[in-house]
Structure 1
Amino acid sequence: MTVQTISPAEAKVLLAQGAALIDIRERDEYARENIPEAHLLSLSAIDKGDRLGPFDPFDTVIFYCQSGMRTSQNAQKLEAAVEPAKVMLIEGGLNAWKKEGQEILADSSQPLLVMRQVQIVAGSLILAGVVLGYAVHPGFFMLSGFVGAGLLFAGISGFCGMARLLEGMPWNRRR
């Protein structure tokens, strides 16, 4: 079965007709902002076997992520998670939904996404290593190299030590 992509406006019409809306992003992303009618069923939860439903063949389930990339890359997995329902994907995800001026629930009191925090910390450490390497002592260039090696390892292995460390910080504790 082919999974159909639809615009946010088309999704809004289907939601008014009783379609289910599922956000496949992770819990921290969903807590920061989401579409009001959405239920959370993250990709990692789907991989662990979590499901919503049961659904009937005449049900319509609409999935979305931040940009539409995760939903399109995992369309078959999403389809299997709600079969036998008809599956649709919001083209452009939450970004397109917001661009069309549709309503969202946003909670800016939630912490920044952990990966954004990793980018901020890693970028700051690399910049500090370069500046200190030129201004104070060439040994500080090692700091930039160490952070770069950590990012390379995270990309290859899928394990990010800095993300694990940041997840444990007080500002990232679940509210």
Structure 2
Amino acid sequence: MNHKRIHPVELFANPSTNLCVLDVRTASEVAATALPGALHIPLHELTPERLQNELVKHGKQGSCVYLLCQGGKRAEKAADQLQGHVNAELCIIDGGMNAVQQANIPVTKNHRKTMSLEQQVRTAAGVLVLIGVILGTWMHPAFYGLSAFVGAGLVFAGITDLCAMGMLLARAPWNK
């Protein structure tokens, strides 16, 4: 579905006090780099009811909700999920937090290094493939199936833009 989009430079050129940015990244991503004043509801926890409650709680009801993630994909998914279910206009921040940082818009940074969700997925996939190869070589060839399963999952994620491992890792305790 096509959603309204805005570039961060355009959005923050004349910031208003009623500006409502909803960050749908994981808690660890927000802990590493955050946009001051943004509401935070991770995509996997986002529901229209929860968003409405947050808007009322922060006095932002009736305003346009600008959706932010790392690069733009999760913001699109959030807009699809919320479209027609909330009493607010939805707009995706083009390029996400990557574009915000490239535009030199002030953000808060935690200098303690945290792994992004994408890094966690790549690390977990690599470890599982390596384990499958090692066990397949030294234990039993059936363990090569683990590597094949992970490879098939990566192909599926690449084609559909849905990553089961990413959705699972987003719910992990260290990402809360």
TM-score (norm 1): 0.67
Bigger Cα displacement from structure 2, 142-151 vs 9-18:
142-151
Listed as ranges, the matches of 1:1-175 within 5 Å are 3-16=3-16, 18-47=18-47, 49-51=49-51, 52-54=54-56, 55-57=60-62, 59-80=63-84, 82-83=86-87, 85-109=88-112, 111-113=114-116, 116-127=119-130, 130=133, 137=137, 139=139, 143-150=143-150, 152=152, 160=165, 167=172, 172=174
Within 2, Cα distance between the matches of 1:158 and 1:107?
Answer: 27
Q: Any idea what SS the aligned residue of 2:21 has?
A: strand
Tell me which amino acid in the other structure corresponds to 2:20.
A
TM-score (norm 2): 0.67
Q: Report sequence identity in percent.
A: 22
Residue ranges of structure 2 left out of the alignment (5+ in a row): none
Q: Any idea what SS the aligned residue of 2:50 has?
A: coil
Distance 1:103 1:141, change over 3 A: farther
Cα deviation digits, residues 74-128 of structure 1 (max 9, x gap): 3243344641x33322111111111112222222425313552342243145346
Within 1, Cα distance between the matches of 2:83 and 2:48?
Answer: 15
* Root mean square deviation of aligned Cα: 3.7
Within 1, Cα distance between the matches of 2:119 and 2:98?
Answer: 17
Comparing both chains, which one has the higher relative contact order based on Cα–Cα distances under 8 Å and sequence gaps of 6 or more? 2
Distance 1:29 1:173, change over 3 A: closer
Tell me which amino acid in the other structure corresponds to 2:78.
N
